[in-house]
Structure 1
């Protein structure tokens, strides 16, 4: 299934010319009170078992920590999400290569999901570290 998703993403490459510019990805924002929130982009597929394993934890994490702004992007039914995936992957170095689940945050990319105690916890710790030390991730608030 990952090969099918990767093929769909790669076949969309000619459409990138109409996609948004790469430098408009918002990794974070501050509200009027100076509170920082991070955008956490998650690309997933309806047919991906690892995606379905990750989604409950990821959704719960975002509910428990409102500073994590979750952006779920399903790629099998929405061609626009495929274009967004390709664009954000290029900005972060092109390492995701069509794999799902794919997680993009603070200029970083990570793909795959083992379980909540390993990958889930690691992603949360990464987000916390970015919020605490944005310069370590080459972003600013």
Structure 2
């Protein structure tokens, strides 16, 4: 691999990590927004305005394509194929998937006892939604942790 390919590969890795951090931040922001709306309904309008501003800033900072990546060029295609065939990245994704899967298996049991104690009438939508969210966030955080 030439130095240009290594540089292009590193640029793509940094770009993909930035996108994963962005997804993780937006998922946590959605959770904070939902929690504030659920527990403090009088702050709903202020949180909604801040949320829209956050989304716009997020799209500008994390959503723009990297200007140093030559999308569609042959060297970019080669760098992406090298990244797709990297065994350490595949292993990191497998470990991250395992972490998210086990969290999704263990969380509903723990959540069921907590919701029984709170006396919520119909807890299944809350359990399923929060379990899916927690498994996804665990997967993304694990990918960022293992793929360093």
* TM-score band w.r.t. shorter chain: under 0.3
TM-score (norm 1): 0.22
Largest Rg, 1 or 2: 2
Structure with more helix by fraction = 2
Give the TM-score of the pair, scaled to structure 2: 0.22
Richer in strand (by share): 1
